[in-house]
Structure 1
Amino acid sequence: MEPVTGLKRLRGWAKRAWGRQPRQKRWLEEDSKVREVARSTAGFALGMALASLYGALVLLAQSGNLWYCLVTTISLGTALGLGMAFSIKVRVSVLLTLPHIFTREGKMLLLLLALGMAVQGPCTNILHNFSRAAESLSCGAELALNQTAERLQRAREPLLKVLAKIKDIAQKAKVVGDRVRKFFRSIMDSVSHVARALCNVWRWLASVGELCNQELGTPFRRCLRLFEEAKDNCERALSFLFFLCYIIITFRPLCGLANVGLLFCIIPQYIQSFLKKTIAAPLSRALDRVRREFEFNISAVHHFDISLNSSKTLADVALDIMEGVSRRLEPTRQVVGLFAYASSCAILYLYLKALRYRHRYLRDDTFDNVYITQRFMDMDVQRAEQGKPTVLPLNFWESDRYIHPGMPWLSQQERRRYVLELTGVLRHVLLGLSLVLADYSLFWLLDLVRHQMQGEIVARAPAMLAVSVDGTGYTSEIFQDLVSAFDVLQQGNVSVLSQRCLLQPVEPDYGAYISMGILYGICLFVAIFGNHVGRLRRVVCAAYYPAREQERTSFLYNTILARRAGLVHALREAVRMNSGDAAQGNLLLFLTSRVPAFARLVQLLGIQRKHCLACGMAEQKDFIACITPDCKGLYCRECHQTLNNVCSICMGPLSYKDMGDEEMDSSDEETVGLWLGALRTLRGHEQEELREQGRLLRQRIQEVAGGQGGARRLPPELLAQLRARLKEEASEESDGDSYGVPGEDSSFSR
């Protein structure tokens, strides 16, 4: 069976396209505009759908702020809608971003999002349940404190009753004492009156004695004074015989006869002392003794001290503890709040990764270039037809490294990543499952406690003890009041469990559980099938950059050939052919394919290995380069003849029939510049064959500008630039120019 190659399709389609009649120009141009509008509309709809999906994710899954969600969703919708509707680069970047969700970076962002939901859902609910439990314990402790104070008050009641009774007795005794005091005061007043009368008698008797002594005591003293004077006169008269004067002294006792009257003065003094000893002193002692019998002092001293060693109430202590816990958890809550903005950062990160992938795809030949595509197989068939060495079928080692993008099996590098990513996802799933189990277990335990404590438990005395006190009098009344106080103490009830302090746990958010399960399921899907979905990135880039894909395919083909040849074969071939350039090229390809660091060094130095873009053959002396300025087309002689002198890079977009409905991207501006450069080069060429190619190229450009021939449609801005530059080219031509075709400008200036 003869293989159908891409080169044959190129050649056959070009012939059919160039033979179409101009009568379809207007219809094709209108069809191109309709498809461009449809493509822009589809891009706008896709951008708005992605923005709506982001808004639903932030608002429902992450429970983000409403205003933040509204502002970011509107901004993202505007950027995506307008960008995908009018910009090819934005469209490519967004389409590259979608497969990036299923790569390792997307998986990590999804795991981060799931962790954020776990922190915002189960972890936050755990904190709420701990807060509820602390509030319930604080309420119970405050209730216990209040009931303790009530018990203390009831315990003081017996003492207070006794003290009240003692105070009552004291008040009554005070009344009796006041009455007795008044009675004795009356008696004492009467006694005082008698005492005053006796005092007057005593004073009279005392005055009588004094008068008696004064009156009756004078003769005795006068007698004594006479004897003394007689003695003194005798001594003065008989100074020499003074001893004779002492005879007078012997007669002085005779004066005692004058003291017989003093006996009557002693009787009042005797009566006074007798009355004082026998009447006044016993009467005073008797009155004092009776007064002391009614003197009493009642003092009641009681000590009832309780010390809790607390400067604050238990409620204040519990409130302070909760405030301290809140302050400690405030940084954690702020970090948890930052997870609400993780989705925006994730989208920006994925978009930057998509831009980096596009940049590396366009710059690095070794980047993500391990796929055996249809282009690769067409190139191998072309080489087989020309009798050149081929690559297919691959050997066992190459089959393990290079794979078909549509096959389910993985390459060696993908299998290595597969195990690591699956292990990482399972570890995160276990972490999330642990948080969910902890949240639900805590809720289940607290809910069980709440269910068991729904009733109200009140402790009462099992039996009432009654004590009766019989008797009359103050003592019996005191004991009766004391016993009645203990009866009041037995009647008190203690609330062991109250509904006011019933625990009310917060039920888990089952919607968050479902969202976490969905995210973890997506992460598992990414870990299992992410490598397959990630291959779509290359498909997107290949669809928008076909020329670049052709270069990468040629590079991969030559890399496999270099690997098969090996380093020893390359050195032997260099010695045998005595060609330093060939050895350098083979060695360069071998080291580039084997050592990634060397590939980066070669890329940094700008060293490239030239090869045919059609069959991948290494550069030879008879290679033919494209005459278009800045065109990278380089072909061997066989491929040049097969292509019929049509460059696959410059004219490639004009030749593939199956690319007719494909829109052109940012690289098409460079392609248009290459077309016009080829026109200027071929316009004044000496060879008739090349001038004929120039006329065909000009005709083909006019068809593209007119939107006919099934060619790829240019964006409106690029189409306007192409028409303007064609007008400039036409104005520079003279009337006798070989390119001149009358009426051409009118065909594409509309």
Structure 2
Amino acid sequence: MPLDISDKLKVKLSWWLIGVTALGWATSPHFRCANLLMVPKFLGKEGRLYVLSFVFAAVYNGPGANLWYNLMETKRSMECVVELQVNHTGLLWHASTAPLRQVMDELVKSAEMLNAETHNVSEAFMQLNEQVASEDGYDLKQRPETGKESSTQQLYETKTKLRCETVIQTGLLRCTSHFQKMYKKCMKRVKLPLFRHLICLPMQFGFLCHTVKFMRHWCKERIPVDGNFGHMYDRVNGSVNSLSQEFSASVAYQEEHHEMLVGTEVAAQMREDVTSQLRQEGARLGLAVSFFRLLLSFTFLFVFFSAFRYTYQYCHKIGFDNCYITTYFRQIDARRREQNKQTLLPLLKEEVPSFIFPCKPALQRPERQHMVMELIRCIPLLLFLLFVCGLDHFIFTILFVIQNHSFIEYSYQASHHLSVNVMGTSLMAQLLRGTIGALNTSFESEVETSNLVCLPRPTAMTRQQYLNTCLPLVLLALLCLAQVYPFRLRRAIAAFYFPKREKARVLFLYNKLLRQRKHFLHLQRGRVARQARLPPELGMVVMRWCRRRWPRLRRFLRLKCTLCGTPETPQHQPCPNPDCFALYCESCWRVMGATCLACGPADPDLARESSEDEEEQGYAG
């Protein structure tokens, strides 16, 4: 979510920031101190917040991006598997129904062919029917009246006889007419009166045409009609009429489309839902990253306000981050030593863990406590990084196993052979051979596929990617370890700009430690006096007797300081009273003024001066 700021506005903001900074440096020591404090603040908690952004960016660009890619690969593999199943089901359905569809197509074609053959038979018989039923060449009135219906055989014989007589009579008329025409033409051509009668005389022999009348006897006696023709004609005519009127072939089928897979739409909807959900989560994650980047843009202001807050608390809270044994603290203690007053250095064992010596390079207890707390805060980040990397590796392992052990090769073979033989040579046999013969089908199918393209192809993170992911977290841990030294620098910077305030803070700390020392000695005196009045335990009596009887055992049977509990060393000072078994370390003996608390008198007050009200001091992390 980058800010949409024009270049002109950026220039104005830059000049405004430069002006405010210059004015602050010129007029306010607090502003100057806060500006210098930004350096150790960048190496402290505020700087770690900026490094934290690199940790999240490394997780996002490393295992997060690889995890997202593997999830997308899983989605692609699922979609491919579902689509492959749908395609296989379609191929199997096509292979199983192909013979039936082929038979249905052939039956439709055979029905059309049967209707065509029937039409051809009717057309062929129609010519014979027209010839038999035709009335050309005769007159039905010429046939004799018998009073009953004549058969087809009798009708056809009568028609044939009458047609034969009609043909003879027609020939006679044409022959006579032809002689007359020839005679007229001859008379026109020959002009000589006598010769034309002689020459045209043969054209008048038309009586010769009447000789064809002798053929009427042949028409009656030798008619060329078979005796079984009428009966056969009636049967064939009935069959053809029945074939054309009562017989028809049609094949009707209805094609219905059904879903081959009931869950296909459900699977498609599931893919859409998964894709939409992943896109929404990706958009939300991208929006969160953009918003986080926008917040990082204001890191400078956040660090400046934090540094200014430290400056304000340093100047207004005298106990804030007031736990350092500084040079001025040592000067006060040295001046009091010269005046033979109660001093604080070196500190007691119980007091050392509460203070920091800035010149010592080793980590000290308050710093270690704060450092451990900061390292503990890094544990959730480490667990988050391990979780994301582990989840990414787990998904990669599963997808890798699927890729190597889930290869399947599909092989489907199908064959269909059907043969129907119709014997005979009759018309019905030929018709059945043309229709039922459509069942003679032969189909072979072979399908070979595999799920190779549907296998997931996951990617694993390399060592370099793991290293790049872990480096920001390692840098964050190193900043937690090294933050103590920049934190010591904060007090030095503030003391440089506010020396009077630093002296007041050190004096307050010195006076407070004097009061604590007095109270501590008062409590310890009472405790030691009570312990001295109690009878010693049996184990202590035995250990004292062994130390007195065998002095060489003292290195193994060591006592502790009565005041602070430090184990015995050669520098420990025993009580001068032979009846007192109290033992003191060098610092406690010096603080007690070479006086045993167990058997000595009560001491006067060790410190009287105090310059400030008491306020709890602590380490500012």
**TM-score, normalised via structure 1 length:** 0.48
Contact 2:416/2:443 (<8 A) preserved: no
CA distance in 1, matches of 2:105, 2:88: 25
Partner residue of 1:182?
Answer: 123
Residue aligning to 1:436:
389
| Pairing partner for 2:241 from 267, 288, 291 | 291
1:435-470 deviation per Cα after TM superposition (whole angstroms, max 9, x unaligned):
1232344345545655778x9956353x97877777
Paired residue total: 438
Match status 1:322 vs 2:275: yes
Does the residue aligned with 1:396 lie in a helix, a strand or coil?
coil
Q: 2:342 aligns with which of 389, 393, 407?
A: 389
Does residue 486 (structure 1) correspond to residue 446 (structure 2)? The answer is no
SS at match of 1:486: strand
**Contact residue 371 and residue 405 of structure 1 kept, 8 A:** yes
Q: Which amino acid aligns with 2:99?
A: P
Kept in 1: contact 2:508–2:612 (CA 8 A): no
Distance 1:545 1:152 in 2: 92
**How far, CA to CA, are the matches of 1:172 and 1:465 in structure 2?**
25
Task: Tell me: CA distance 1:392–1:185, structure 2 relative to 1, closer, same or farther (3 Å).
Answer: same
Provide the C-alpha distance between the structure 1 equivalents of 2:326 and 2:440, rounded to a whole number of angstroms.
Answer: 106
Instruction: Quote the Cα distance in structure 2 between the aligned partners of 1:530 and 1:302.
Output: 85
Partner of 1:617: none
Query: Is 1:495 matched with 2:449?
Result: yes
Q: What does residue 399 of structure 1 align with?
A: 352
Alignment of 1:611-626 (within 5 A): none
Structure 1 segments unaligned to the other structure (5+ residues): 1-63, 207-279, 570-581, 597-750
Match of 2:83 in 1: 142
- Look up the SS of the partner of 1:166 in the other structure: helix
SS at match of 1:459: strand
SS of 2:297's equivalent in the other structure is helix
Q: 1:482 to 1:365 in 2, by over 3 A?
A: farther
- Does structure 2 retain, via aligned residues, the 8 Å contact 1:383–1:389? yes
Alpha-carbon distance between aligned partners in 1 of 2:439 and 2:64, rounded to the nearest angstrom: 59
**TM-superposition CA deviations, 1:265-285 (whole Å, max 9, x none):** xxxxxxxxxxxxxxx9x9999
Secondary structure (helix, strand or coil) at the match of 2:350 reads helix
1:94-493 aligned at under 5 Å gives the runs 94-108=35-49, 110-111=51-52, 113-183=54-124, 185=126, 288=238, 291-292=241-242, 295-301=247-253, 305-307=257-259, 308-309=261-262, 318-319=271-272, 321-407=274-360, 413-443=366-396, 445-446=398-399, 457=409, 459=411, 461=413, 484-487=441-444, 490=445, 492-493=446-447
Aligned pairs for 1:635-714 within 5 A: none
Which letter maps to 1:423?
Answer: I
Amino acid in the other structure paired with 1:486: F
Give 1:553's match in structure 2, choosing from 488, 506, 522.
Answer: 506
Change (3 A) 1:290 1:518: closer
1:242 aligns with none
Contact 1:114 1:520 in 2 (8 A): yes
| Alpha-carbon separation, structure 2, partners of 1:192 and 1:496 | 74
Q: Give aligned-pair identity as a percent.
A: 23
Contact 1:93 1:355 in 2 (8 A): yes
**Contact preservation (8 Å) 1:425, 1:527:** no
Tell me, yes or no, if the aligned pair for 2:495 and 2:501 is still in contact at 8 Å: yes
Match of 1:656 in 2: none
2:371·2:481 contact (CA, 8 Å) conserved in 1? Answer: yes
- Is the aligned partner of 1:523 residue 2:476? yes
Shift of 1:167: 2.6
Inter-CA distance 530–332: structure 2 relative to 1 (3 Å threshold): same
- TM-superposed deviation, 1:404: 0.8
Structure with bigger RCO (C-alpha 8 Å, 6+ apart): 2
The amino acid that maps onto 1:427 is: P
Structure 1 residue 517 displacement after superposition: 1.7
- The C-alpha deviation readout for 1:282-341, integer Å capped at 9, x for no partner, is 999995566335623332536665324579696686356413431354223311322333
Q: For the residues of structure 2 that align with 1:475 and 1:285, how far apart are their CA atoms?
A: 21
Structure with more helix by fraction: 1
More deviation in 418-427 or 169-178?
Answer: 418-427
- Give how far 1:370 is off: 0.4
In structure 2, the residue matched to 1:562 is: 515
State the shift of 1:352 in Å.
1.5
Please list every run of 5 or more consecutive structure 2 residues that lacks an aligned counterpart in the other structure. Answer: 150-229, 424-429, 523-606
Read off the aligned partner of 1:93 and give its amino acid letter.
Answer: A
Residue 411 of structure 1 and its aligned partner are, at CA, apart by 5.5
SS of equivalent to 1:407: coil
Asked if 1 retains the 8 angstrom alpha-carbon contact of 2:64 and 2:388, the reply is: yes
TM-score by length of 2: 0.57
Q: Tell me the secondary structure at the aligned position of residue 115 of structure 1.
A: helix
Matched position secondary structure for 1:493: strand
Are the aligned partners of 1:157 and 1:485 in contact in 2 as well (CA < 8 Å)? Answer: no
Q: Deviations over 1:331-360 (max 9, x none)?
A: 233113223334323333222111111121
Distance change >3 Å, CA 588–CA 92, structure 1 → 2: closer
Residues 399, 456 of structure 2: 8 Å contact kept: yes
- Partner SS state of residue 275, structure 2: helix
2:338 and 2:611 map into 1 onto residues whose CA distance is 27
Contact 1:129 1:505 in 2 (8 A): yes
Cα distance in 2 for residues equivalent to 1:82 and 1:338 = 28
Q: Which amino acid aligns with 1:156?
A: T
In the alignment, is the contact (CA less than 8 A) between 2:507 and 2:611 conserved in 1? Answer: no
Equivalent residues in 2 for 1:32-111 (5 A)? 87=25, 92-108=33-49, 110-111=51-52
- Looking at structure 1, the residues matched to 124 and 144 of structure 2 have their Cα atoms a distance apart, in angstroms, of 27
Distance 1:464 1:136, change over 3 A: same
- 2:223 match: none
- 2: CA distance, partners of 1:288 / 1:380: 148
RMSD: 5.1
2:450 counterpart SS class: strand
1:372-408 residue CA offsets vs partner (Å, 9 max, x unmatched): 0111101111122233332212222221212212335
Structure 2 distance, partners of 1:77, 1:310, is 66
Q: Which residue identity does 1:122 align to in structure 2?
A: P
**1: CA distance, partners of 2:447 / 2:148:** 83
Cα distance in 2 for partners of 1:186, 1:498 equals: 70
Give distance in 2, aligned partners of 1:538 and 1:342.
29
Residues 322 and 477 of structure 1: CA distance in aligned 2, closer, same or farther (over 3 Å): farther
Q: Which whole-Å CA distance do the structure 2 matches of 1:443 and 1:469 have between them?
A: 60
In structure 1, C-alpha distance between the alignment counterparts of 2:394 and 2:10, rounded to whole Å: 37
Matched residue of 1:495: which SS?
strand
Give the direction of change, closer, same or farther, for the CA distance of 1:404–1:91 in structure 2 (3 Å limit). Answer: same
What code does the residue aligned with 2:477 have?
Answer: L
Q: Is the alpha carbon distance of 1:124 and 1:73 closer, same or farther for their aligned partners in structure 2, counting shifts above 3 Å?
A: farther
Tell whether the 8 Å contact from 1:158 to 1:486 is kept in structure 2 after alignment: yes
Shift of 1:419: 3.6
Partner of 2:597: none
Superposed displacement of residue 565, structure 1? 3.3
